Chain A
Amino acid sequence: MDSLLHGVEGFMYPNEIELQWSVLIVLYPFITGLVAGAFILASLERVFRVEAVKPTYRLALLSALAFLIVAPLPLQLHLGRPERSLEMYLTPHTSSAMAMFGFVYLWYLMAVLVLEIWLDYRKDIVLLARSTTGPLRWVYKAMSLGSDNISPRALEVDDKVGYFLTVIGIPSAFLLHGYVGFIFGSIKANPWWSTPLMPIVFLFSAIVSGIALVMLMYMVTSWFTGREISMPCVDTIARYLFYAFVIDFSLEMLDLLHRVYESDESFKTLDFMVHTRLYTSQVIIQIVIGTLVPLGLLALTQLVRLSESARKGTYALAGVLTLMGIFAMRWNVVIGGQLFSKSYLGYTTYKMGFATREGLLPAILLMLLPFVILWVLVRLLPPWHDEPHPPAEGAAQAA
Chain B
Amino acid sequence: MRALFKDQEHLARMAGLFVAGIVAFLVLQQLLVPKGFGLYGHYRAGALDDNRARPVSFAGQAACAECHTDQAAARKAGKHARVSCEACHGALAAHAANPESKPEKPHGRATCLKCHTANVAKPAKFPQVEPSEHAETGLCTECHQAHNPGMGS
Contacts and interface: CB of A to CB of B under 8 A. Distances in A.
B7 A145 contact: no
Interface stretch (B11-19, B48-56, B67-75, B138-146): B11-19
Contact of B13 (A90, A147, A151): A147
Interface in B1-45: 6-11, 13-14, 17-18, 21, 25, 28-29, 32-33, 37-38, 42
Interface stretch (A22-30, A74-82, A153-161, A359-367): A153-161
B32 A145 contact: no
Contacts of A394: none
Nearest to A161: B11
A91 B33 contact: yes
Given A89-B25, A90-B29, A90-B33, A149 B7 contact: yes
A110 B42 CA distance: 28
Contacts, number: 42
B10 A122 contact: yes
A145 B14 contact: yes
Nearest to B28: A90
Interface size class of B (residues with CB under 8 A): 10 to 19
With most chain A CB atoms within 10 A of its CB, the pick from B11, B18, B28 is: B11
A115 interface: yes
Contacts of B25: 89
Contacts of A156: 7
Given A91-B37, A145-B13, A154 B29 contact: no
Between A91, A111, A161, the greatest number of chain B beta carbons within 10 A of the residue's beta carbon is seen for: A91
Interface string A137-172: 000000011110101011011000100000000000
25 contacts: A86-B32, A89-B25, A90-B29, A90-B32, A91-B33, A93-B42, A110-B18, A111-B18, A115-B14, A118-B14, A145-B10, A145-B13, A146-B13, A147-B9, A147-B10, A147-B13, A149-B6, A149-B7, A154-B7, A154-B10, A156-B7, A157-B7, A157-B8, A157-B11, A161-B11
Given A91-B42, A145-B13, A154-B6, 16 more contacts: A89-B25, A90-B28, A91-B37, A110-B18, A122-B10, A145-B17, A149-B6, A149-B10, A153-B7, A154-B7, A154-B8, A156-B7, A157-B7, A157-B8, A157-B11, A161-B11
